[in-house]
Every structure is written in structure tokens, then in C-alpha cells.
Amino acid sequence: MAHHKVSVSIELTKAYAIQIPLSHAVVDSYNDKLKSTSIKKTYTHFPPFLIRVDYMEIHAKNCLGILALITAVLFLVAETYATQQFTITGELIPKGIVIRDATVIIPEHDTKRLNFDTAKVVISYEFTNARDETETVELTSGQFHKGFVTLSGEIEKTIDAKVVVDAGGKDPLTLDIVISPDVSISFVVIENIAQMKLLGVSRSVKNHSNKFTISGDLSSIDGDLEGAIVLIQSSEYDYTGERKKLNFGSVMLDEGKFSIEAEVQEPRIVNILIIGNLGHTQTKAVIEPNAEITLESQGSWIKGVFATSSNASRHARLIDVWQQSEAYLSTRKDYLEAYQQFQNHPESVNDDQTPLHRELVRKLNRVRYDFLQQVARNADDPINALLAMELNAFWGKEEAQSIYDRLSKSLDKDLVARRVTHARNDHASYLATIGIDKGLGIGKHVSKFTLPNLDGEDTNLEDLLEKSEYLLVDFWASWCGGCLATFPALKDLYTSYAEHGFEIVSISIDDIYELWADRSEEQELPWVNLGELKGFDGEIATSYGVTFIPKNYLIDSNGQIVDKDISTDKLEEFLVGKFSESWNSDESNLDDNDN
């Protein structure tokens, strides 16, 4: 009688494998034992070896000897690849914060059709097998029960993995994670926006010699921090001159606390953003291998958050030294109080007055720049000089170019290519744009342009001038709070004066169409709304000297500048003065006709 032959292939490495035939009867008798062994578990979790079983018709021979050999191999593998348990917990939350920037886009999910209560949650990873093929291995899976899910499994070493939640949408939700032995990970699924976030802790360290940590307890801050997100980002140039974002991690606060552990190979500046329901703030930090940064708060307001570190770190030597000075702390305290006062009572400041908080910002910047400029000029370590430049020591000043030139000669060529050459070129362009802005004074003609609206239809400046007596060219972006704050007053002016010859054209300098479109729909802009969508580097933005927003030009029907960077109050005064003359003239003509 013929028996089924089982061929067991154990791949120990990409280059080495053992293939051993076993009788079907023997495999059946040892099936339960194989399922319970650590090696069976390893099959699920590790790329270094696989066990494959194929069936053929053949008689069994030498089963006991073969079984002994397999036992020895399995024992060796089990000893070499001892596993440890990991645990991953997930929670469904109904609402969360939508983050709008160039790197975080809302997934295109119809949340009404998603059913997270029955969603399958899978933890998996990918590896390349002996045939150089990418395979996906499921570590563990499960479903939410009453809004929670707990998954566990075993791994031998730290690996890159994914959390995949399939709730029935077009595409599943995914979250990249790093799993380490004997570590717990928590995540949340935000149902109303179909996003996933790590909760409280983010760990992405595999090489501990490059590890840095940024953590904080923000529970003392007043206001609603439920669902608040902390992001750590930086940027550098690639070899083509394109600026790319570097993301070091993001988490949702867990009872006001967070910790982000990541890797960095060289000292660099990062931006720490905290985005909550009632506001947001950001602060800078210097990270490097072994750095430990802590977020603290001066007072109980979110704007009072700052980063600090130990005395031995570059952060302490480049930021804490001025940020913790008595002069800076006392001025910052006054600034926070003045800013809150302005936020609560903006009507207390006349349009021709400079708000107190802005004057105090200038004082704070002076303390910062005085120190950083000395570092950039005189630091013995060129890395510290570079970091000072990246903290904007000489931004907007001609002296920056000579310092960049000096750093180009003293730093490693690779570092110069990524962090000096293109930064110098960008700064040169910025200085040129400032020159253009200064040259566009009252009486000068603005540049012509043709740009698309949200439907892709082109509009040019000449057409707008033909239809209007005065045109406000207003540069803005979806992320610009100051821009959005002007829209209500501009809408009132547009309603009052559009029929008399006043027109507005808004030009978005967003980088992404969806951000421009979503914010435009939200704001319901009634005037001409065009988009260049190239940030501050766009040809039109540059030709109009745009280095900040909101930025505007009031021009007449000939394309000549009547005023620039005009406030809504001054714009109203201008329109009242100009169009009241025409109203009075119209009334006089009516009186003459009556006579």
C-alpha cells in the first residue's frame, strides 16, 4: 500500500536549507507535538526559517533516523531563536483631531460605511525569502470587543511591523510600528476621521547607540488635551535640492503624557508640535544620539511649553542657555500674559497700534538671536555653527551667506550636500525675494499672472483688471491662521463694495490641492480663488515678493500698486473714501435730473 511522503524543508538562512522526507503516518503522529513546539511558533514569526510540507506518493523508509535528525535540527533552532512575548492593545475612540499639513492627509474613507466593531485587526511584517520574494507573515490577529482589542504573540528580535485594521472600506487602515521583545504597544482608531495613532508611547529604535528620547507630562496645562497629538519633525535637502520632511514619530497624549523614542545619526534640529482641540504650539529641540529631551511648561497655558535637556547635551548648550536665562523667562512670562489678553480682547488694540505681545516677541527674538549669532560666528565646532544657522541665527541677513560658505569648507561633503549647499541657495533666493518686495512700492506695476481656480479653469490678471476699479491681490494658505482671521472682514467689504468695482483675488500658496480645496469650501470664499500650490517658491509668489502671509497688494485698474500689506480697517477707510465720492456724484446727478 502506498503512503504519502511528506517533505519538510527547513530554511535556516537564505543560502542554506535542509530538506528531509517523512512518512505521512509519522507526521500525523507528531502533528500535535509540532504545533505546540516553539519552532512551530517561530514559523509564524520569523523570516530566518520556514517549514514547508509537500505530499507525494512513496513508501516510508528510515523514519526513526530521519525523525531524530529533525529533532536535533529543531532543538538547535529553538535554542538559537528563543522568543519573547509582545502585547498590542487597541481602542476605538469616536472623535479625534484632524491634522492638516503637507505630510498628513485625511484618508479617503467613507466613515459611514466603516464598521470597526467587526473589523479584523492584523499584526504582520514582511521579509524577503530565499528566492528574493517579499512575503507577508501574520504575527497575530483578532477583533474589537466593546471598543477594545488585545493581541499578543512571540518574536525573537526587534522588527518593523504593521497594524492593519480592515473595517470594510476601500482600503484598510494601516499603522507602521516597531515591535521589540517583551514590549507593550497601544494604539487608537479614530472613527470619525478613519485614522490610527499610537497612544502615549512611540518606539522605533533598533540601533540603541543612535537612540534619543523626547517625553513630557502636559497634564498641568489648562484646556482640553483629550485627543491631542504630539509630532516630531525635521527636514533636509536631497541631492536634487528638494526639501524633504523627516518624521521621527507621533503619538496621541495618554492622560497628558507621552514619550517618543527614535533614532538619529547626527545632531539636528527638530520641531515638536502639540496640536489640541483648543489650540496648538511648537518648540524647537536639538537631538543627537543619547539625547534625552523633556517638555515642560511655563505656566498652565499650552503656548508656555518648551523643551529642556541635561547640561551635557548640545540642546542645553545651544537652546537652554538662553531659553532658561532670567531675561528670557521674565519677558516670556509677560509675553504669554499679553498674548492671552489680546486673544481674549482683540478689540482693545487699535489698528494703528502694535500689540504689546508683538513687541515682546521682538525682545524674545533679540535674546535668542544675540546668542545664536555669536555661536554661528565663533563656534569651534562647525556642527554647532550649523545648528545655530538652522535655528535661524541670521535668517534674512546677508551675513548668513558668508557663514554658509565657511561651513561648506569645514564640514563633511555629504553633510554639506544635505544641509548647507541648498540651504545657502534657498537663503539667497529669500534675500532676492525680499529685494523684490522692497522694489514693489506704491506706484509700481505688479507682474501679470495666469492661474487656475478649483475647477482647473485659468484666470489672468488682465481679465480681473478689466472688470474692476480696484483689485486686492491676497496671498494665503490653508494653514495660515492670520490669513483666515482676515476673511470675515474681507467678506463684509466684498459684500458692500463688489458692485461698485471692488474685487478680490485670493492666491493660495498651499503645497497640496486637497488642503486648498477643503479650506476654501470651509471658508466659502465669494471672490475669485486661484491656486499656485508651490509654497513660497512659486513663480508668482516670488514675483510678488511673498516671504510671509497674509500678504496683499491693492492695485488699480492699470495694475499700479495703490497700497500693500494693508489691514482690513485701512482697506475699509480707503474704499469708503473712494466709493463715497462716486455715490455723492451719483446723488448730485440725480438731483440735477430732478430739476
Domains (range + CATH), the chain: 4-82 (no CATH), 325-439 (no CATH), 450-582 (3.40.30.10)
The type of residue at 410 is S
pLDDT given at position 5:
40
Q: What percent of the chain has pLDDT over 70?
A: 80
The type of residue at 139 is L
Peptide bond into 550 cis (omega under 30): yes
pLDDT given at position 586:
52
Neighbour-count burial of 110, counting CB atoms closer than 10 A to its CB (0-12 exposed, 13-18 middle, 19+ buried) = exposed
Alpha-carbon torsion angle 296, 299, 303, 309, nearest 10: -20
Highest mean pLDDT out of 25-39, 298-312, 493-507: 493-507
Q: Number of H helices and number of E strands within the chain?
A: 16, 27
Mean pLDDT of the chain: 84
Sheet of 120-128, strand order: 134-143, 120-128, 159-166, 173-179
Q: Is the pLDDT of residue 41 over 60?
A: no
119, 166 contact by CB (below 8 A)? yes
8-state DSSP, 445: B
The residues, any chain, with a CB within 8 Å of residue 336's CB and separated by 6 or more, are 298, 299, 301, 303, 304
256, 263 contact by CB (below 8 A)? no
* Prediction pTM value: 0.76
Query: If you search the block for the grid coordinates 476605538, which residue do you land on?
Result: 92
The band of 110, judged by pLDDT with boundaries at 50, 70 and 90, is: low
Angle between helices 399-410 and 421-439 (to 10 degrees): 170
Measured distance CA(483)–CA(477) in Å, rounded: 7
In DSSP terms, which residues pair with 506 in a beta bridge? 474, 529
What is the distance of C-alpha 247 from the center of its chain?
Answer: 7
8-state DSSP, 72: H
Calculate mean pLDDT across residues 295-303: 83
Query: Three-state SS for 403?
Result: helix
List the one residue out of 238, 231, 217 whose CA is nearest residue 295. 217
What is the distance of C-alpha 298 from the center of its chain?
Answer: 25
Q: What percent of the chain has pLDDT over 90?
A: 63
Sheet of 51-57, strand order: 17-23, 4-11, 51-57
* Phi, psi of 192, deg, nearest 5: -70, -20
Measured distance CA(160)–CA(179) in Å, rounded: 6
In DSSP terms, which residues pair with 154 in a beta bridge? 85
pLDDT given at position 393:
96
- Per-residue pLDDT of 206-221, as tens digits, reads 999 999 999 999 988 8
Query: Three-state SS for 249?
Result: strand
Candidate from 240-244, 274-278, 394-398 with smallest mean pLDDT: 274-278
Candidate from 151-160, 311-320, 353-362, 363-372 with smallest mean pLDDT: 353-362
Q: Is the pLDDT of residue 26 over 50?
A: no
List the one residue out of 486, 555, 477 whose CA is nearest residue 516. 477
Count of CA atoms in the C-beta half-sphere (13 A) of 508: 24
The band of 76, judged by pLDDT with boundaries at 50, 70 and 90, is: low
Query: If you search the block for the grid coordinates 535540527, which residue do you land on?
Result: 73
The band of 275, judged by pLDDT with boundaries at 50, 70 and 90, is: confident
Sign of CA dihedral 583, 587, 589, 590: positive
Count of CA atoms in the C-beta half-sphere (13 A) of 111: 11
**Which DSSP helix (H) or strand (E) runs through 569?**
helix 568-594
- Per-residue pLDDT of 529-576, as tens digits, reads 999 999 998 999 999 999 999 999 999 999 999 999 999 999 999 999
Highest mean pLDDT out of 43-57, 126-140, 209-223, 547-561: 547-561
pLDDT given at position 10:
44
Q: What pairing do the DSSP bridges indicate for beta strands 458-460 and 450-452?
A: antiparallel
pLDDT given at position 227:
86
Q: Where are the beta strands (DSSP E) in 12-147?
A: 17-23, 51-57, 84-93, 120-128, 134-143
Q: Is the pLDDT of residue 419 over 90?
A: yes
Measured distance CA(586)–CA(580) in Å, rounded: 10
